[in-house]
Amino acid sequence: MLVALSIFQLSYVLLLSPLIFGILAKLEERIESKQGPRIFQPYHDIFKLLRKESVIPSVASPLFKSAPYVSFSFYMILTLVLPIITAFPLSFGPTVDFIGGGLTFGAAATIKKLSSLDSRSNYSHLGTSRASSVGALAEPIIVLIFIMLGVLSKTNNPYVINNVLQHSRSWYFSLVHWFVSASFFMILIVELGKLPIESHSTSELGMIDQAMEMEYSGIELAFFKWGGYIKKFLLMSVFLNVYTVPFWVPLSVNIPGILAYSLIHFIKLIVLVVILALIEETISKLRLFKIFDYISISFAFAFLAILAFYITRGGF
Amino acid sequence: MTVYVLPIIISAAGALLSVVPVLYFEETVSVAASSLSLLASIWILFMPGFNGTFLFIDGLSKLMLVMISAVYLTAVVFSITYLKYIENPLFRKKIYFLLLNLFAFTMLLSVSVNNLGWIWVGIEATTVTSALLVAVENDETALEASWRYIIVVSIGLVISLLSVVLIYGASKNLLLSSLFLSHNPDNLRLLTLGVLMGIIGYGTKAGIFPMHTWLPDVHGKAPAPISAVFSAVLLPVALYAVERLMQIAPFLIIKNFTLILGILTVVTASILIGVQKRYKRMFAYSSMENMGMVLIGLSLGGYGFAGAVVLMISHAFAKSGVFFLSGNLLSRYKTTLTSGINDVVKQMPVTGYGLLFGSMSVTGLPPFGSFFGELMVIYALIKNYGIIIAGVVAVFLILAFISLNYHVGRMLFSESGNPALKKMEQGRTAIIMPVINIILSFGVVFFIPQIISILQR
Amino acid sequence: MQGIFSLTGFFLIVLLFFMQWEVYVKNIIITFSVSSFILSGFLLYLGIVNEEHILLALSALTAAVRGFFIPYIMLYSLRKDTWRARESEPLMGTATSILISVLIVIFAYILYRSTLYGFIKVPEGSLPIALMLQGSFLMISRRNTFIQMVGYMVMENAIILFSGYIFPGLPFVIEAGVILDLIGIVMIFALLMRIRENTISSGTPDSYENIEELKG
């Protein structure tokens, strides 16, 4: 039963993740009063790339060719261990906790960075250095957020955190929880590469993540793109299911409930996408060195969560 | 009751009347208001103490009232002649006298109310009324000095507002008369903390060591009568609040804390007097040194307290006279630099000799009242803390004496080479007022027993 | 009650973070106005729960003076003072000042726990202390006079929050006197700013370092 649900969750994520970003792109274009691409455009892109010839730099090592597949498989593993459509662990659930999940994300990102260094292209190197310097400051904050959630639930297990927040009103409405959520939302925007941080245009001035896959083409690029969609989909799901809206996630094996929830989850994601599109359309890009100020605010929120824990919950 | 509010009401009425648009009306009204409030204060001096819901008048308040109104009167009279020398003033003469009267009103209010909260309000109001007076000279430096004054003093007063809140929390009461009598024994530590914060906060306004930075800027840049009022009475008014706080909580830790602050103030100011290049800033540091001595005296109690009050009164008259005379120098020599002034004794004999005796008085030379005040403080210091600390303080007093009188002597007696010009001397009022004040600072000597008996009553 | 107080305190702290982040003076003044309205709302709630009419009056006065009147005056004098519209050279970077603000909140917590908590026994009392220290930090870290003024008023707001929650019943006349003085200081401030602009026409108005007469 759990294996079947795991396969269902995997296919749910793999198939739906491009659609979410198609909707996001369409929304943004509509807000700018443009026609915009169809919402299925990401699928077309991936299929087109799968059929194209791939060109590999002559100086690149074998790592360059294998990196997209490795990182894609990391994301598939993550799909199996995070609470996406169920609030109870599926068959692979017990393998890693929150810290392990974070490390897997980090491993995928590291492989991507190594491969882009391997391509010996200046633009890729630029993107890598930017992504590394942002990541070096953002990742300690993610650790801080995990620690605060550990304080909240006395465990590092995302499923337990979801259950605690679903049941305990006092935790759900506590300042600790909402400061952590605010901090994670700011980090989420950094990870999604949305506007105050990164602008997706053809100019290299605003590129961070986009620049790293500059030398890829064909099937490798398709896997990188698809992996990127999955990564963002997972982060958004974690943000919704673990941090902000932990409700309605099925707590026991109940096929109609899980099917219904997978629809609800899609609606939750669309609401989040609308919010992201609105932010994207109202805010202008920060200058590159201002990103660190932005991250410091996120750090301040995470730290205020700790203080709120001590001040309102007695601490000491 | 009615007698005790007279000085406050008269100065407020003077402030309101001085905006009446009649030629020279504001000067007449201000002189009348200040003389009347001086008379009322002297009358209060012979009345018994008063303790009501709004006012609290004891010996210290009476002496403060007399001191404030006397300096107020001389400052008003001196302003009438001095304002002519300010080119391009910030506002018209009527507004100047309005603010000066209001300034005196807030100070008179602060020393007679029976509520810690109102003392805070009054002292904060002195900041509001005096900030513009500092900037009368209307150049960038004056405005900057005024801004520094507002910001530094306001931060200090925020600390004392917190202290008012803490004292209220500790005793659920802010009336001085009942705070003197009893304390809730459970909350003594909170009370102590509140009083300590209050001493730091009001100490800012009095130019006490850690937050004294605004003081030389303001005294150096304000016009002479305003510098005189600041140095002679505004700083003592802030110390009055400190003294009230110490009377509320006469604990050893508070006394020691205040003593340390006082000694640090004396040490800092004495060292800084020697390196000043501008005479008004030098006199400002001398005020700071005197306030340090007063604070030491207040912390000791007994003889020290009486000595502190004598020193405060004598310093008020002497220092206001010195600042008036420095205004005469500035208006004739057109420079604030000590090195730019030579041969004052020949060029302006009355100003020169007045300055000589005045600077002797503010540094505590024997015939003047401040000498006896400092002597009493030092005596109490020896009795309570031994000869070593008293010796350190005395050494720095001597250092201040030498450096101030060296600079003043150089200004007065150095040869400039110019032939003596009699017409450099100021008009009659401009020299009579400071001379009267300096004579008064000598005259305090004869009233020391009376001052002590008023304080003890 | 306790929850509402924590919420108010933390919200005001977050607004101060925003002030540290912001360089445009207008936005900082508006943020201050918002924080005063929040303070006023808290006092209103406190007054209704404790049935203290003094707090209701204080709430109305806070909203009228700190929320509306003072920001209005400051915005009005800012409009005539265009070169002060933004902080041109802050003393330290935004990230540094935000991190220092966080450290201040921690410091205030430790300070409060080790000193005042022993007598007051209110666990959230460190929030107003943190606000006060942050207000003074805002004054230190900026050169713009308008922002320094806002920092001063943030400190006073913190004391109102502190006394309103922890020692309710501070005599109303005193609170009224405090507010009157605040009005006076802001008026003087606005006046000084105006005069500076009118009389000082020469190039760089913020170059205070060169005032020779205020040295020593």
Please tell me the distance from the alpha carbon of residue B385 to that of residue B398, in angstroms, as a whole number.
20
Please tell me the distance from the alpha carbon of residue A156 to that of residue A153, in angstroms, as a whole number.
8
User: For chains A and C, what is the number of CB pairs under 8 angstroms?
Assistant: 55
pLDDT digits (tens, 9 = 90+) for C7-43: 999 999 999 999 988 888 999 999 999 999 999 999 9
Determine the residue of chain C that is closest to B271 in CA distance. Answer: C216
Please tell me the distance from the alpha carbon of residue B359 to that of residue B351, in angstroms, as a whole number.
12
Domain boundaries, chain C: 2-197
Helix (H) or strand (E) holding B57: strand B56-57
Q: What are the Cα distances from residue B83, in Å, to A313, B88, B136, B140, B319?
A: 63, 10, 10, 19, 20
pLDDT digits (tens, 9 = 90+) for B351-407: 899 999 999 999 988 888 899 999 999 999 999 998 999 999 999 999 999 999 999
Using the predicted structure, report yes or no on whether residue C203 has a pLDDT greater than 70: no
Q: What's the structural domain count of chain B?
A: 1
Q: Chain C residues with CB inside 8 Å of B189's CB?
A: 118-119
DSSP codes of every residue in A108-174 = HHHHHHHHHHHTT-HHHHHHHHHHHHHHHHHHHHHHHHHHHHHHHHSS--HHHHHHHHHH-HHHHTS
Using the predicted structure, report yes or no on whether residue A314 has a pLDDT greater than 70: no
Backbone angles phi, psi at B355, to 5 degrees: -65, -40
Tell me how far the alpha carbon of residue B146 is from its chain's centroid.
18
- Residue C68 — pLDDT band, cuts 50, 70, 90? very high
| Average pLDDT value over all residues in chain B | 90
C-beta of residue B7 within 8 angstroms of C-beta of residue B47: no
C-beta of residue B286 within 8 angstroms of C-beta of residue B362: yes
Residue entry with tokens 């000589």? B356
- Residue C199 — pLDDT band, cuts 50, 70, 90? low
Using the predicted structure, report yes or no on whether residue B426 has a pLDDT greater than 80: no
Helix (H) or strand (E) holding A73: helix A62-81
C-beta of residue B123 within 8 angstroms of C-beta of residue B241: yes
Residue entry with tokens 């505004």? B234
**In chain A, what percentage of residues exceed pLDDT 70?**
98
The two structure tokens encoding residue A51: 């059929």
Using the predicted structure, report yes or no on whether residue A316 has a pLDDT greater than 50: no
Determine the residue of chain B that is closest to C174 in CA distance. Answer: B117
The two structure tokens encoding residue B100: 């000066």
Q: Would you state the pLDDT for residue B331?
A: 87
| Average pLDDT value over all residues in chain A | 89
Please tell me the distance from the alpha carbon of residue B132 to that of residue C189, in angstroms, as a whole number.
9
Q: Is B173 helix (H, G, I), strand (E, B) or coil?
A: coil
Q: Comparing C-alpha atoms, which of B408, B253, B198, B244 is closest to residue B318? A: B408
C-beta of residue B68 within 8 angstroms of C-beta of residue B233: yes
Please tell me the distance from the alpha carbon of residue B327 to that of residue B346, in angstroms, as a whole number.
18
Using the predicted structure, report yes or no on whether residue C135 has a pLDDT greater than 80: yes
B304: in domain: yes
Q: Chain C residues with CB inside 8 Å of A134's CB?
A: none
> Please, which chains are in contact with A (at least 3 CB pairs closer than 8 A)?
C
Q: How close does chain B come to C74, measured CA to CA in Å?
A: 16
- Residue C204 — pLDDT band, cuts 50, 70, 90? very low
**In chain C, what percentage of residues exceed pLDDT 70?**
92
Most trustworthy range by pLDDT among A145-154, B163-172, B229-238, C206-215: B229-238
Average pLDDT of span A129-145: 89
Tell me whether 0.90 is exceeded by the ipTM: no
Residues, chain C: 216
Q: How close does chain C come to A314, measured CA to CA in Å?
A: 7
What is the biggest distance separating any 2 CA atoms in chain B, rounded to whole angstroms?
74
Within 8 A by CB and 6+ apart from A297, the residues are A186, C17, C21, C98
pLDDT digits (tens, 9 = 90+) for B278-310: 999 999 999 999 999 999 999 998 889 999 999
Q: Chain C residues with CB inside 8 Å of B268's CB?
A: none
Q: Would you state the pLDDT for residue B417?
A: 67
∠ at Cα B267 (B326, B195), nearest 5°? 100
Using the predicted structure, report yes or no on whether residue B129 has a pLDDT greater than 50: yes
∠ at Cα B99 (B95, B103), nearest 5°? 170
**In chain A, what percentage of residues exceed pLDDT 90?**
45
Cβ separation of C6 and A175 shorter than 8 Å?
A: yes
B45: in domain: no
Backbone angles phi, psi at B250, to 5 degrees: -80, 60
- B136: amino acid identity, one letter: V
B226: in domain: no
Determine the residue of chain C that is closest to A312 in CA distance. Answer: C124
Determine the residue of chain C that is closest to B126 in CA distance. Answer: C181
Q: Chain C residues with CB inside 8 Å of B170's CB?
A: 119
DSSP class of residue B175 equals B
Q: What are the Cα distances from residue C128, in Å, to B61, B155, C3, C9?
A: 35, 16, 15, 7
DSSP class of residue B46 equals T
Q: Comparing C-alpha atoms, which of C181, C171, C12 is closest to residue B165? A: C171
The two structure tokens encoding residue C72: 């209005």
Is the Cα dihedral A79, A81, A82, A88 positive or negative?
A: positive
- Residue C201 — pLDDT band, cuts 50, 70, 90? very low
B117: in domain: no
Q: Chain A residues with CB inside 8 Å of C95's CB?
A: 292-293, 295-296
A292: contact with C, CB 8 A cutoff = yes
- Residue A146 — pLDDT band, cuts 50, 70, 90? confident
Q: Chain C residues with CB inside 8 Å of B143's CB?
A: 192, 195-196, 199-200
Average pLDDT of span B247-263: 92
Q: What are the Cα distances from residue A235, in Å, to A39, A149, A191, A230, B139?
A: 21, 16, 8, 9, 61
pLDDT digits (tens, 9 = 90+) for B58-117: 999 999 999 999 999 999 999 998 888 888 888 888 899 999 999 999 999 999 999 898
Using the predicted structure, report yes or no on whether residue B419 has a pLDDT greater than 70: no
What's the start-to-end Cα distance of chain A, in Å?
Answer: 46
Average pLDDT of span C103-130: 87
Interface test with A, best of C8, C98, C124 (most A CBs within 10 A): C98
Q: Chain C residues with CB inside 8 Å of B179's CB?
A: none
DSSP class of residue B51 equals E
Q: Would you state the pLDDT for residue C10?
A: 92
Classify residue B449 as exposed, middle or buried by CB count within 10 Å of its CB (0-12, 13-18, 19+): exposed
- C168: amino acid identity, one letter: P
Determine the residue of chain C that is closest to A170 in CA distance. Answer: C3
DSSP β-bridge partners for residue C86: C24
Please tell me the distance from the alpha carbon of residue B116 to that of residue B174, in angstroms, as a whole number.
6
CB nearest to B187's CB, from C119, C132, C200:
C119
Q: Comparing C-alpha atoms, which of B319, B236, B284 is closest to residue B68? A: B236
Using the predicted structure, report yes or no on whether residue A51 has a pLDDT greater than 80: yes
Q: Is B37 helix (H, G, I), strand (E, B) or coil?
A: helix
**C-alpha dihedral, A105 to A110 to A113 to A119, nearest 10°:** -120
Q: Would you state the pLDDT for residue C123?
A: 80
Q: Which residues of B64-101 are buried (b: 16+ CB within 10 A; e: fewer)?
A: bbbbbbbbbbbbbbbbbbbbebbeeebbebbbbbbbbb
Q: In terms of residue numbers, what domain contains B282?
A: 258-457
Q: Would you state the pLDDT for residue A71?
A: 94
Q: What are the Cα distances from residue A147, in Å, to A238, A305, B383?
A: 16, 10, 61
pLDDT digits (tens, 9 = 90+) for A109-119: 999 999 999 98
Please tell me the distance from the alpha carbon of residue B364 to that of residue B441, in angstroms, as a whole number.
11
The two structure tokens encoding residue A183: 């901090």
How many other C-beta atoms can be found within 10 angstroms of the C-beta atom of residue B362? 30
Q: Is C142 helix (H, G, I), strand (E, B) or coil?
A: coil
C-beta of residue A277 within 8 angstroms of C-beta of residue A188: no
Q: Is B393 helix (H, G, I), strand (E, B) or coil?
A: helix
A193 HSE (CA, 13 A, CB side): 20
**In chain B, what percentage of residues exceed pLDDT 70?**
98
Q: How close does chain C come to B352, measured CA to CA in Å?
A: 24
Q: What are the Cα distances from residue B154, in Å, to A169, B2, B41, B241?
A: 44, 33, 30, 16
Q: How close does chain A come to C102, measured CA to CA in Å?
A: 6
Q: What are the Cα distances from residue C11, in Å, to A99, C38, C101?
A: 30, 9, 14
pLDDT digits (tens, 9 = 90+) for B154-176: 889 899 999 998 898 888 888 88
